[in-house]
Amino acid sequence: MRCFFIFIWVFLYQLNCFSQTITDLEIIKEKYPNSNFVRLHQENVISIELDEGEFTILQEVIEENVYLDESATYNSKQSISFSSFFEMQKIEASSYLLDDGKYIETKIDDFKEKDDLENSFYDDTKSLNFIYPNLNKWSKTKLKYTQKINNPRFLNAFYFGNFYPIINNKLTIIADKKIQLRFQQFNTEKNPVVFTKTENRKNNIYTWELKNVDEFEFEENSISYKSILPHIIPIISSYTTNESKMNMLSDVADLYRWYYSLIQNINKDENDKDLVELVQKLIKDKPNNLEKARAIYYWTQENIKYIAFEYALGGFVPRESNDVFKKKYGDCKDNSSILFKMLEIAGIKGNLTWIGTRSIPYTYSEVPTPLVDNHMILSFEDENKTYYLDATGRYTSIDAPTSFIQGKEALVAKGENLFEIKLVPTIAPKLNAFIDTTNIIISNSEIIGKSKSEISGYLKSDYFYSLEKQNTDTKLKDFYNTALEKGNNSFLIKNIKELNKFEYDKNLVVAYDFSLSNYAKFLGDEIYINLNLNKRLLAFKNKENRKTAIEYEYTNYYEYQTSLSIPEGYIVNYLPENTTITNEYITSNINYKLTKETIEYTHTVELNTLILDLDAQKKVNDLIKQMELSYKEVVILQKKP
């Protein structure tokens, strides 16, 4: 270990010569045997100048990597994002090929620019794309670029860790003494970040350093990386100009004032006559405001196509409702704009509302900057209840928020300097339900059955999204054979009948017949059959060595009711015992009931949480182990003497 750290010191401080022996590189490989590459050095230097109230902010980024195996070539293609808010000033990149113990540099001079239209809320993001040539085992790369940050509210987070090892991290902020900053740290409790502050005549200089950070493991269904990786968010809270203190982002009120300045002048034009006529038609004969809002909301979901298309402050300013109505497309802000106007025409007060999706773990008090949210919706109040209307989430009932904003803070605009922070509710499990009722008979060794599945809430929305793609009878049958499978893969569905398909306020009902081959076992005078046709609880079993929390899209409830007709000439020789397991995260039970002609089986599974941390995962796994024994239990039918 001492040799390793001596080598790293020499390597980092004499990196410009790029001369290294294979032995030295093997030390890194030994230290990080499971990594394809290691980031040797990453550094951000942010300089913030203030002149007569005007900010000049430059951010210099340096990244240096070494590649530890032949997969290096997969890292050849690289891109750097920029926008009108993060203006690219200068970029340099080189790859280094090891040849006879020395590195040969190849400078990159071909950078291709293209639009990146994946963002739904922020700015006109573009990317510079380039290729590192000749990458192989032991190759190195160096990237250095400078961006001008054109809005002082947009200082980005600096991450001290990632899904690859980082040997040396450094963040430096050089700020005019007239600027007051605060620094919000996340997930740094277990990481000894070294902070220093110095000053010269004009500037305060803040520095954070962290060395030898192991890679963080990417795991399926994990919580947001922002909840895992150590990082710091610098915030300009205020500044002094002409002896006067000016707030920038000292609290959420400052953020709101800026947001409100961007929306206060929209939708001032005379309403489009066709839009007014449409609203009047939609709300005709509707008995109250809620039903009027429901009709308007569902029309918007069905008719305004979601397209993310942003440029400059267009990433923050909703488009005019008249334009959205004519074009029939828009992003989240545009959907909110037309909803606002349509409700207004109907005599209902709506409120433009900013919100972060669940991928953003911050509260408005922690991070009162544009990093705290990435979405806009419309909220309105009726009978002391707040409704959160997000027309980008098709098939979502007015009674529920979209699943990806559950539990999040919403910044509700009430007027100039008047806002409210509300907590979006999490929908109860039984509102996201799958309830299956099945009747089966045993015919030879085959199970013949009739089922009806009733699906509600977010589960129903997921079905609808999938059903949009099933545009032939064959595709539809294949989809339901997979989605509704019982017993084993010999399950075969037929005679499908769908009710309330694509309805917003009614549950989806799917009725069908099915067969299940080679499921019941005949041994002498006995029939063995496992009535656990759906072992739903096993879907919540987690890997024992998992390292990160699990996040579910929504809570849910499953109920399977199966009625087995006792074959003529048989009696029940063995009926398994009932089982109930429960903790604060999951509740499940299996119940058997014998009647004169049938065995009535019921199995329920209820997930009561959105996130399972490591301790909760262990508790859930321990609980599932108990139910796994019950899943193996079979009913035994005995031929009458």
Mean pLDDT lowest among 92-106, 313-327, 484-498, 579-593: 313-327
Evaluate whether 110 touches 103 at the Cβ level (below 8 Å).
no
Alpha helices, DSSP H, located in 387-472: 457-467
Alpha helices, DSSP H, located in 305-421: 321-327, 332-345
Q: Provide the pLDDT for residue 315.
A: 72
Same domain, residue pair 186 and 271: no
CATH number of the domain at 13, please. Answer: 2.60.40.3140
Same domain, residue pair 34 and 173: yes
Is the pLDDT assigned to residue 10 strictly greater than 60?
Answer: no
Same domain, residue pair 486 and 583: yes
Question: Confidence class of residue 21 from pLDDT cuts 50, 70 and 90?
Answer: low
Same domain, residue pair 189 and 316: no
Domain ends where: 383, 406, 423? 423
CA dihedral (395, 398, 402, 406) in degrees, to 10, reads: -150
Domain ends where: 204, 221, 246? 246
CATH number of the domain at 475, please. Answer: 2.60.120.1130
Beta strands in 223-266, from DSSP E residues, in sequence order: 231-241, 244-247
Q: Provide the pLDDT for residue 312.
A: 58
pLDDT, averaged across the chain:
93
Q: At what angle do helices 332-345 and 273-283 cross, to 10 degrees?
A: 70
Is the pLDDT assigned to residue 17 strictly greater than 70?
Answer: no
Report the domain count for the chain: 3
Range of the domain at 203: 2-246
CATH number of the domain at 369, please. Answer: 3.10.620.30
Is the pLDDT assigned to residue 260 strictly greater than 60?
Answer: yes
Q: Provide the pLDDT for residue 106.
A: 96
Is the pLDDT assigned to residue 401 strictly greater than 80?
Answer: yes
Mean pLDDT confidence for 202-214: 96
Question: Percent of the chain scored above 90 by pLDDT?
Answer: 86
Question: Confidence class of residue 12 from pLDDT cuts 50, 70 and 90?
Answer: very low
Tens-place pLDDT, residues 610-639: 999 999 999 999 999 999 999 999 999 999
Mean pLDDT confidence for 372-392: 95
Domain ends where: 423, 448, 472? 423
Q: Provide the pLDDT for residue 313.
A: 63
Mean pLDDT confidence for 53-63: 97
Mean pLDDT confidence for 381-409: 95
Is the pLDDT assigned to residue 11 strictly greater than 70?
Answer: no
Same domain, residue pair 392 and 257: yes
Q: Provide the pLDDT for residue 264.
A: 94
Same domain, residue pair 237 and 354: no
Is the pLDDT assigned to residue 4 strictly greater than 90?
Answer: no
User: How many C-beta neighbours within 10 Å does residue 146 have?
Assistant: 16
Question: Percent of the chain scored above 70 by pLDDT?
Answer: 94
Question: Confidence class of residue 6 from pLDDT cuts 50, 70 and 90?
Answer: very low
Is the pLDDT assigned to residue 428 strictly greater than 60?
Answer: yes
Q: Provide the pLDDT for residue 100.
A: 84
Q: Buried (b) or exposed (e) across 193-212, using 16+ Cβ within 10 A?
A: beeeeeeeeebbebebbbbe
Question: Confidence class of residue 310 from pLDDT cuts 50, 70 and 90?
Answer: low
Mean pLDDT confidence for 462-466: 97
Is the pLDDT assigned to residue 7 strictly greater than 80?
Answer: no
Q: How far is CA 217 from CA 16, 72, 411, in A?
A: 31, 19, 33
Question: Confidence class of residue 1 from pLDDT cuts 50, 70 and 90?
Answer: very low
